[in-house]
Every structure is written in structure tokens, then in C-alpha cells.
């Protein structure tokens, strides 16, 4: 009886295991070949995989050409996009017909993106035509990877290379983790933000290595509960909250933590930036801690007069209210003499700003670093190099 029962139990377990098995959909089964365009093959493989509970789309090693794709849910169950090879975007911007993304993941619950592969955006031709730094009504350029309305998901062990515009963009995502993601583009590639987060919550970025031509991580409006741990950044423009206050009806930003980062040769360090003459807004509960700066410009900066290339009117101060912000254990070298700039708004001064254990030496030699403050009275503790608020501005 005992023996029969164990056999019956084993059979039952085998049946259960087979019903829970992940079904694999290899794009090669749908006609994909290396060095050829796999847009149709991938679209078909995704559609088939999305229709079953528990599936995996596989793109094995090799280089493949890929046009614009939207990989949409909702799917029957958890789905994995396993990229082991290199996907190559079309070089010509015209082929995107004004669309703002290359590989778009949309409306999926339980997505895994993994495999160690590369999303190569082939951005070189697009960068030459990019005039977004001069003209805010510039043509839309495609983002390498867009995550729209993605929940309970993980992105790990992938590389985004030479995107035409932002590398990775999040819109209205929830509970999305990034682990061991690499982002790479030259320092002079315009608007190639590494990871841009918009209107999302419960986002974590761990062990990311980002070198690009704009912010390594940028956090727009409407974000709640975002943490970045062990991020390496450089080249790039640093790690930024904002810019905020450019548009009407922006949502509050709160619960942002950047812990254990290393920034090397970046234009800025950790910063919060808001536009002058802005509609009202709120940014609160933002914490930067245990960060190493290596030859970084403006290592610590709050800039409420952010106005690149004079694209804005400076007639009135920013109305974005910044509060409960801390900069703790931030050390290393500054490439600018002014290592700490806390330039807050005259109409809504910053509240509850903390500077604790700051040690930033001037890389250029010729004296020590300085700091400037406007419309803020930071609470200070521990080492203060430079001394807090050496220059008090109006």
C-alpha cells in the first residue's frame, strides 16, 4: 500500500510539474536568423508566448536586426524575455516614423527581462541631428527600451548601448526591479539619460553600471518610493531628481533614496533641479547617502533656477516646494571649486535640509572647496568640508 501510494504521489507530482513547466518560444522557430531582421519572428513568438501561462521568449547568441516592436500584455501568466544575443536598431531615425520607442514592453504583470544580451540602439547618426538642447520642440527620438504600465517585474543582466535618446524609460510602473543593468554611450551623446523614471512607484535599481551623455538616473514627477543602491555613474550628468516644474499639474515626488553610489568625472553629482516661474509642486523625503565623488562637478546641488540654454523666463521664482532632504557621508573630489550649492526658491524656501559628514576636496588645487546657499538653512553635523553655506546668496 505504502509503495503504491508513493508511486501515485510521484505521478501526481510529475503531472503538477508538467502543468507548471515554463514553455519556451525560441524566435528561431519563427524564422529568425542571425544578421537578418527578426521583427516579425519576435512579434509572433511574443504573441504565442503571451497566450500561455508561464512562458519564455528566447533570442539566442548572435546579432539580429530589429525594427520597432511593442511587446504587449496582459499575458496569461508570468513571461520572460530572454535575450542572449545582440539586437540592433535601425540607424536611420526616419524608419521610426516619429515613434518614441524602439523596444516597448507594455501592460504586463510578472515580466522578466534577462539573458545577458545587448540592446544596441545604433544612435550615432541620430546624435548628430539632435537639437533638443537648443529647441524644446525638437523631433521625438526613439528610446531604446520603454516600460509602460509594467508591474511586479524584474529586469536583470542586460546592456543598453548607444541609444538614440533615453536608454530606459519607465511610465506608470509599479514594483519593478533593475539588477545588474549596464548602460553605455559616449560622454558627448545628447539626451541619452540612462534610466528615466516617470510616475512610477516601488522601483529599485541595484548594482547598475551607467556611463552616458546625460543623467545616469533621472527621476521625473509623480514618483514615489524609488531606491538606487550601488550605482556606478560616469561619464554623464550625475543622478538627478527633476527637472521639476516645467509643466502644469505635475505630481509630487517623494521617498527617493540613493545609497552607496560612485560617480566619476560627471558634470554633476547628486542634484535636485526645478525650473523658475514654475507651477506649484512638491519634492520631499529625498535622501543621498554614502556616495563617493571622483573629479565630479557640482557634487551636491539643489538648483531651483534650472534653465538650460535660457529656454525659460526667469521672472518669478520656482514654486516647487523642496523639504526633508539629506546629504550624508558624501566624500571625494570636486572638479569645481564650489562643491556644495543649495540654491532654493525665494517663494518657497527649502525646509529640513541636512548636510552630514561631507568631505569634498578641490581637484584643481589652489585652495579648498566652497559652498553657496540661498533660501535654505541646512542642519549640519559631522565633518563639513567645505564649511556649509560659506557664501550666502539672496
Q: What positions carry a catalytic annotation? A: 214, 237
135 shares its domain with 231: no
pLDDT-derived band at 213, boundaries 50, 70, 90 = very high
Q: State which H helix or E strand residue 128 sits in.
A: helix 124-129
- Our count of domains for the chain comes to 2
Average pLDDT over residues 164-183: 98
Last residue of a domain, one of 141, 169, 197: 169
Whether 108 is in a domain gets the answer yes
| Tens-place pLDDT, residues 304-328 | 999 887 777 667 999 999 999 999 9
> Which residue would you say has higher pLDDT here, 367 or 261?
261
Confidence of residue 84 (pLDDT cuts 50, 70, 90): very high
Give yes or no: residues 327 and 391 share one domain: yes
Q: Which domain holds residue 390?
A: 215-394
Q: What is the mean pLDDT of residues 202-223?
A: 98
pLDDT at 129: 81
Q: Work out the widest C-alpha separation in the chain, in whole angstroms.
A: 89
In a domain, 192, yes or no: no
Can you read off the three cell numbers belonging to residue 335?
572638479
User: Does 55 reside within a domain?
Assistant: yes
Note the pTM of the prediction, 2 decimals.
0.94
Q: What is the pLDDT of residues 2-35, one digit of tens each?
A: 555 677 677 666 665 555 689 999 999 999 999 9
Residue 7 has what pLDDT?
A: 72
> Do 219 and 164 reside in the same domain of the chain?
no
State the pLDDT at residue 5: 64
Q: Do 237 and 147 belong together in one domain?
A: no
Task: Measure the CA–CA gap between 210 and 158, rounded to whole angstroms.
Answer: 12
pLDDT for 382 equals 98
pLDDT of residue 3: 54
Domain termination site, one of 169, 192, 225: 169
224, 159: one domain? no
Place of cell 510578472: 110
Residue 364 domain-assigned (yes or no):
yes
User: Is 390 among the domain residues?
Assistant: yes
10 Å Cβ neighbour count for 163? 33
Q: Which of 392, 385, 293 is nearest to 335 (CA)?
A: 293
Q: What is the mean pLDDT of residues 70-97?
A: 97
Mind listing the pLDDT tens digit for each residue in 98-152?
999 999 999 999 999 999 999 999 999 999 887 776 666 677 899 999 999 999 9
Are 280 and 376 part of one and the same domain?
Answer: yes
Domain assignment present for 6: no
Is pLDDT of 248 > 80? yes
Give dist(CA 257, CA 272) in Å, integer.
13
Whichever domain contains 226, its CATH number is 2.160.20.10
- 158 and 28 fall within a common domain: yes
Amino acid at each position: 500500500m505504502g509503495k503504491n501510494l508513493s508511486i501515485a504521489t510521484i505521478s501526481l507530482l510529475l503531472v503538477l510539474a508538467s502543468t507548471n513547466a515554463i514553455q519556451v518560444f525560441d524566435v528561431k522557430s519563427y524564422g529568425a536568423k542571425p544578421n537578418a531582421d527578426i521583427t516579425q519572428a519576435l512579434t509572433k513568438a511574443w504573441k504565442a508566448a503571451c497566450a500561455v501561462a508561464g512562458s519564455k521568449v528566447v533570442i539566442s547568441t548572435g546579432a539580429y536586426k530589429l525594427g520597432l516592436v511593442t511587446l504587449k500584455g496582459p499575458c496569461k501568466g508570468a513571461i520572460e524575455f530572454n535575450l542572449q544575443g545582440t539586437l540592433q536598431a535601425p540607424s536611420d531615425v526616419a524608419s521610426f516614423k516619429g515613434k518614441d520607442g524602439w523596444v516597448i514592453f507594455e501592460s504586463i504583470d510578472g515580466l522578466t527581462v534577462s539573458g545577458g544580451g545587448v540592446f544596441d540602439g545604433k544612435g550615432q547618426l541620430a546624435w548628430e541631428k539632435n537639437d533638443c538642447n537648443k529647441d524644446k520642440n525638437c523631433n521625438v527620438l526613439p528610446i531604446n527600451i520603454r516600460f509602460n504600465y509594467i508591474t511586479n517585474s524584474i529586469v536583470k543582466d542586460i546592456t543598453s548601448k548607444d541609444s538614440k535618446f533615453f536608454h530606459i524609460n519607465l511610465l506608470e510602473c509599479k514594483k519593478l526591479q533593475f539588477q545588474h543593468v549596464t548602460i553605455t554611450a559616449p560622454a558627448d551623446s545628447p539626451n541619452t539619460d540612462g534610466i528615466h523614471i516617470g510616475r512610477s512607484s516601488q522601483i529599485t535599481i541595484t548594482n547598475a553600471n551607467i556611463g552616458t551623455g546625460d543623467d545616469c538616473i533621472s527621476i521625473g514627477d509623480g514618483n514615489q518610493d524609488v531606491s538606487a543602491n550601488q550605482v556606478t555613474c560616469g561619464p554623464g550628468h550625475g543622478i538627478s531628481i527633476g527637472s521639476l516644474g516645467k509643466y502644469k499639474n505635475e505630481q509630487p515626488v517623494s521617498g527617493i533614496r540613493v545609497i552607496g553610489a560612485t560617480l566619476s568625472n560627471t558634470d554633476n553629482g547628486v542634484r535636485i533641479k526645478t525650473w523658475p516661474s514654475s507651477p506649484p509642486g512638491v519634492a520631499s523625503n529625498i535622501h543621498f547617502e554614502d556616495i563617493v565623488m571622483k573629479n565630479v562637478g557640482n557634487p551636491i546641488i539643489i538648483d531651483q533656477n534650472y534653465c538650460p540654454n535660457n529656454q525659460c523666463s526667469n521672472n518669478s521664482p520656482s514654486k516647487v516646494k523642496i523639504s526633508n532632504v539629506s546629504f550624508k557621508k558624501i566624500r571625494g573630489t570636486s572638479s569645481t571649486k564650489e562643491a556644495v550649492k543649495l540654491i532654493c526658491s525665494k517663494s518657497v524656501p527649502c525646509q529640513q535640509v541636512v548636510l552630514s559628514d561631507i568631505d569634498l576636496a578641490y581637484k584643481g588645487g589652489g585652495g579648498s572647496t566652497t559652498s553657496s546657499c540661498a533660501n535654505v538653512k541646512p542642519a549640519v553635523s559631522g565633518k563639513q568640508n567645505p564649511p556649509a553655506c560659506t557664501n550666502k546668496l539672496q
